[in-house]
Amino acid sequence: MSDHDHDDVQLLDAPADRVMPQEPLAPEINLASAKTDSEWLARLDELGDELDPDAGGFTPLGQHHAALYSDGSDTLLVSFESIATIRERQPDHRPMGFTHARARGWSSLSVVARQPRWFRDTEICDYFDAQIDAGFFDGFRRVLFYGEGMCGYAACAYSLAAAGATVLAIAPQATLDPAIAGWDRRFMDARRLDFRSRFGFAPAMLDGGRNAFIVHDPARKLDLMHATLFRRPFVTLLRSPDLGRDTAVALARLGALAPMIDAAAEGKLTPLLFHRLMRARREDAPYLERLTRRCARLSRHPALTLAAAHHALARSDSRKLRKCQSKAEKQLSR
């Protein structure tokens, strides 16, 4: 609990015992046509007013962040997302967590960021402290925190606010405190942020949760090093090799991300289910191309390289794939 003054922080209301079906939102609130992030936030504010005409579902959190709450069932999806990612990936430019939860009748709390500040601003900490003090999260039967990368860090860190919550984080950073993660030099500007105060070291913040799932690509060494910092008895590390630079995008392309979120929210996500979902990689052209090129680099198994190349070329033609295929055929003909 925090001793900070929460007088200026909006307190949310947990859902009533019975929740009426969610009505369609007014189509005139078009986030996709917003030309700037400021205009997008203004329309998100309008969306919040429609969700809750009395109190408003939109809460600005300082200069760089905002939150949107949508009331639904007693399952709550808390997602952390960047505005840039939302506007790049979502067709309607609405937060993914909001859209995913609304389609299932869940409640949602979408915390969005304008800048890559790892959600470390004081306003964010105060907001979650206020919800803890008000017992907001206690009103839900299931709570899932979700995020990827920077947002995955935040999902882990702020999950402390909801005792017994589940966390699904994709390639999260554990911290960017140079005293702990000085080996990660990808985000040099973020090192100046405060990772030592409230909600600072993400792995330690998981201690109050039910379980957590950390998805990472072991071939990406820095992501792997962060993942190892999360090791705890109730944390499951899920390996997703060769999915490329953006694991979350690849999971969505495979049709695996939505089922993972659903299973995690329902307490049904397991390593077995995850690996079953990963079978979709066998038909995914980008994955097959990376697998072929990795086999070719190793050079020790030309037959495996050739088989992978044949499988990949059946789905996508590529000069690099044909080069790998030719090299493997020459090795086998010697």
Q: All domains of the chain, ordered by start, with CATH?
A: 31-280 (3.40.50), 285-333 (no CATH)
Q: What local confidence, expressed as pLDDT, does residue 244 receive? A: 82
Higher pLDDT, 12 or 202: 202
Report yes or no: 30 and 43 within 8 Å, Cβ to Cβ: yes
What is the mean pLDDT of the segment spanning 268-291?
89
What is the structure's pLDDT at 10? 65
* All residues at 6 or more sequence positions from 239 whose CB lies less than 8 Å from its CB, including other chains: 216, 217, 218
* Average pLDDT rounded to a whole number, residues 159-176: 97
More confident residue, 188 or 21: 188
Whether residue 74 is predicted with pLDDT greater than 70 in this model: the reply is yes
Burial of 330 (0-12, 13-18, 19+ CB in 10 A): exposed
Say what the pTM is: 0.89
User: Are the C-beta atoms of 76 and 144 separated by less than 8 Å?
Assistant: yes
- 172-186 residue pLDDT tens: 999 999 999 999 999
> pLDDT at residue 103 above 90?
yes
Q: With 80 as the cut, is the pLDDT of residue 22 above it?
A: no
8 Å CB contact between 212 and 269: no
Q: Containing H/E element for 146?
A: strand 142-148
For position 209, what pLDDT does the model report?
A: 84
